[in-house]
Structure formats: structure tokens, C-alpha cells
Amino acid sequence: MRRDSERGDVELLSAYVDGVAELSLDERKRVDDLLARDASLRDAERDTRALLGQLRDIPPTGNEPDWSALERSIGDAVGADVPTRSAFGAFWQRVRWRFVVPVVALAMTAAILALVLHDPEPATTTPPIAPVVHVQPPVVEDTTDELTASTPLWLDGTDLEVAIEAAELFDLDWDLDEESLPETAELLPPTDLEWIDDLDGESLERAERYLDGPHHHGRKGPS
Amino acid sequence: MDVYAARLPILDAAPAVSADPDGELAERFRNGDRAAFDQIVRRHQKGLWYLVRRYVKRDADASDVTQQAFVRAFKGLAAFRGAATVRSWLYRIGINCALSWLRDHRREEPTEIAEDALIEQHAAPAKIMGGEDAARLRAAIIQLPPKQKLVLELRVFDDLSFKEVAELAECTENTAKVNFHYAVKRLREILVGGDDASR
């Protein structure tokens, strides 16, 4: 069993026999050493030399043509004009790979970046939509002709049409029984009217005067 | 158009080989000297014809393919940069032309013709070797794996250097040497073993 390195040297044996000059000095020396210590390899060398000699003695295939006629026919076929390459053609052949490779690499990088960084839903700045508050007027008994369907209130800076007669609220005669209120009443929670509790007496009087007066049907509430 | 020259990227990629005996002729041709090409034809038409003849099996076809190969070479020589020798470049074009010709004429040329040609070859009076021995050797060569066969034929029949063989076989020089060794070894086995070895 030969070692791998020895097997590599044996594989050079035929090249050694047929063209020792084409082996490097190191390769030549290794094969020489191998031949010096291996008799079977020396036999193989002799056989190889004999076989290559036999192969070279084989007469060439076919009956050779009239070489002058073949040369003339080739001359006629190629014509008289020597094909020349344009200066650009020569330049392009020399540098084409220097261009093609970086351009392709750049294009691929750009494509990958575009895919990675692309936002399928472009960001649009839409103004926040103000919540729409629908307030159903509570069902109350129509006791007074002066009661109107709705009363404007100014709550937290928002102008609301509240369908509750403000005068009744301030009179506090109205019993706010939760059961009697419609379901929609909870859209305007009582806590939103807590500011009324914070009014001082003077403010309340002014409000009452305002509501009793002829202008209480205006849009703006008490300030 | 110039498909054969285009198939040689490996041969046409490195700086010029200084030891090419045809390098000067190629340079003269590139500079517009038409006579330089005629000289290349005179130098290599014989070798190229015999190389092609091993593929196409008919003398007249070998001449046609050889002419075709030289026409291709004429068109491509201006672009040839001398990475390989002119000879190996030319032989590569010849092999490509021969393979292309075989593809185009596959139906016209049944495989039996190859055998006929073989018989005809050894029937011809051989000056150096007896016809029977030559036929036996040729029959053994046919049994080699394609790569080993190519390397052996280029080396033995076309007298190419291992470097040129490597260029044509598209492998390294060392691989060409190793392939050559195994081709010779296998050939010995076939010849010693006769029919048994060929199975």
C-alpha cells in the first residue's frame, strides 16, 4: 500500500517517461527516488516506454490530402482582407469584465436595499379625526311651553348641543333617576357636568339671569 | 458568428505566453500582414487535418472541417491575446468545428463508419508497424474514458506539450499528466487482458 504522496509521484511516471523535461526538478527527483527503491515501478517504466513507442509508430489515420490544394482553398475562403478590430472593440474586450462585474454587483445591491428598505404603506399625515358625539335628548315631560328641544353647552372647550333644558338643571327640581334616563344618556356622563358644582354663587346667579333673560336661546353658553 | 473563438475564455484570459513560436506571426497578422496567416496555415494545416480526421472519419470531411477551422481562426486571430499558444488555440477551434460537424451530420454518419475507417486504416500498408498491431492499439484507445483518450491522443499523436494538452483538455497541467499516466496504465491493462479487460 503506497502513501498518498508516493501515489502522487507514481501518477507522474508516464509523464516522466514521455517528457522528463516537462517535470519540475522536484518532481523529477521524487520519481527518481521512487524508481531507485521500487523494482516493480522500474518494470512499469520499461513497459510504459515500450507502449508509448508502439503508439507513436501507429501510422496516422487517413490518406493525407494535397496540402497545397488545401492551403489554396483556405486562402480563397478567408479572403484577402485582414479583419481588424476597432480601437473600441479592443478596449472593450480588455476591460469588459472590469465593468460588467461591478455594475452587476451594484445593481444587485441596489435591488436588495430597495427590497429591504421599501415601505409598502407610505406614511401619510392625516389629521386626527375628532370623535363624533351623538347625544340623544332625554325624554322629559313637556311641562313648559318655554322648554326647547336643545340647549347649547360649552363643555371642556367643545360646543355641544345637549337636549336637556338647562333651566331645569339649575332649578334642580328634576329628579335624575337613572332608571328613567334613556340608555344613550350615559354618553354624557354626569361627571362631565361637575364643573357646575365648582361655580361660585355669583357665577350661578349670573347664569340664572342669563337663562331667564331673552338671550338664553343663543349659541354660546355662560363664560 | 464567431462562436468558436467565443468558447475559449480560458485560453484568452491571461497575459501572452512568450515561448509561443507562432506569437510573432499572430502579432504580424494583427498588424494587418495577411501573409503571416498563410504561414500559420502552412505550419499547422497538417497537424490540424490529422486531429480533425480522428473525429470525422472521412478524408474529404476532414479537409472541409480543417478549412472551416482556419476560417474561424482568421476571423478570431485579431482578438487572440496569446494566453495559449497559437497551435493549441487553433487545435481547440479544430476540435470544436469537428464536434459541431459531427452533431450536424449525426444521422448521415452511422457509428459503423468509424469501424470501417478503422479497418481501412490498418488495411493500408503501415511502414512502421504491422496493420494488426496498429488496429489492436487503436481498438484499445477507443475503450479509454473520453478525457484520458483525449489527453493520450493529443500527447502521442499531436505531439503537444503537457501545458498545451492541459489548455485543450481544460484542466491543469498536473491533471493532464495524471490523466496521461492512467490512460497509459489502462491501455496496458486492456492490451494484456485482451477482451476481459475491456469489459
Coil vs helix vs strand at A152:
strand
What gap in Å lies between CA B155 and CA A56, rounded to an integer?
Answer: 10
What gap in Å lies between CA A5 and CA A72, rounded to an integer?
Answer: 53
Q: Dig out the grid coordinates for B181 from the structure.
A: 499516466
- Residue B198 in domain: no
Contact B133, A53 (CB under 8 A): no
- For chain B, helix (H) and strand (E) counts, in that order, are 11, 0
- Domains in chain B: how many in total? 1
- Residue B154 in domain: no
Domain spans of chain A, in order of start: 4-57, 133-223
Q: Which residues in B65-102 are b (16+ Cβ under 10 Å) and which e?
A: bbbbbbbbbbebbbbbbbbbbbbbbbbbbbbbbbeebe
What gap in Å lies between CA B15 and CA B2, rounded to an integer?
Answer: 22
Interface test with B, best of A2, A12, A14 (most B CBs within 10 A): A14
At A197, the pLDDT band (50, 70, 90 cuts) reads: confident
- Residue B124 in domain: no
Q: Dig out the grid coordinates for B127 from the structure.
A: 511502414
ipTM: 0.74
The C-alpha angle with vertex B151 and arms to A34 and B94, in degrees rounded to 5, equals: 155
At B90, the pLDDT band (50, 70, 90 cuts) reads: very high
Q: Do A84 and B184 touch (CB under 8 A)?
A: no
User: CA-nearest residue of chain B to A13?
Assistant: B181
Phi, psi at residue B125, to the nearest 5°? -65, 120
pLDDT at B13: 38
> What does the mean pLDDT of chain B come to?
81
What residue numbers bound the domain in which B102 lies? Answer: 1-109
pLDDT at B164: 93
pLDDT at B196: 47
Question: Tens digits of per-residue pLDDT, B152-196?
Answer: 999 999 999 999 999 999 999 999 999 999 999 999 999 988 644
Q: What is the CATH classification number for the domain harbouring B93? A: 1.10.1740.10
- Residue B164 in domain: no
Lowest mean pLDDT among A22-26, A28-32, A184-188, B175-179: A184-188
pLDDT above 80: residue B77? yes
Lowest mean pLDDT among A13-22, A198-207, B102-111: B102-111
Q: Which residues in A107-140 are b (16+ Cβ under 10 Å) and which e?
A: eeeeeeeeeeeeeeeeeeeeeeeeeeeebebbee
- Residue B144 in domain: no
pLDDT at A133: 62
- Residue B197 in domain: no
Q: Do B63 and A73 touch (CB under 8 A)?
A: yes
pLDDT above 50: residue B198? no
> What does the mean pLDDT of chain A come to?
75
What gap in Å lies between CA A115 and CA B90, rounded to an integer?
Answer: 48
Compute the average pLDDT of residues A194-217: 79
pLDDT above 60: residue A217? no
What gap in Å lies between CA B41 and CA A217, rounded to an integer?
Answer: 116
Q: Name the DSSP letter for residue A138.
A: P
pLDDT at B87: 93
pLDDT at A154: 67
Q: Do B156 and A74 touch (CB under 8 A)?
A: no
Question: Tens digits of per-residue pLDDT, A120-172?
Answer: 666 566 666 666 666 666 665 555 555 455 566 666 666 666 555 554 555 55
Interface test with B, best of A78, A88, A98, A100 (most B CBs within 10 A): A78
What gap in Å lies between CA B28 and CA A82, rounded to an integer?
Answer: 11
Q: Dig out the grid coordinates for B77 from the structure.
A: 486571430
Contact A90, B12 (CB under 8 A): no
pLDDT at B119: 39
Phi, psi at residue A159, to the nearest 5°? -80, 115
Q: Do A59 and B134 touch (CB under 8 A)?
A: yes
The C-alpha angle with vertex A137 and arms to A131 and A139, in degrees rounded to 5, equals: 155
- Interchain CB contact of A21 with B (< 8 Å): no
Rounded to the nearest angstrom, the minimum Cα separation between A107 and chain B is 25
**If you count them, how many residues does chain B have?**
199
What gap in Å lies between CA A18 and CA B180, rounded to an integer?
Answer: 10
Cα→Cα distances B136→B46, B118, B131, B139, B143, Å: 25, 10, 9, 5, 11
Lowest mean pLDDT among A3-12, B42-51, B113-122: B113-122
Q: Which residues contact A96 (CB under 8 A, 6 or more apart)?
A: none
Q: Do A55 and B156 touch (CB under 8 A)?
A: yes
Q: Give B59's contacts in chain A (Cβ within 8 Å).
A: 62-65
Coil vs helix vs strand at A73:
helix
Interface test with A, best of B56, B177, B188, B190 (most A CBs within 10 A): B177
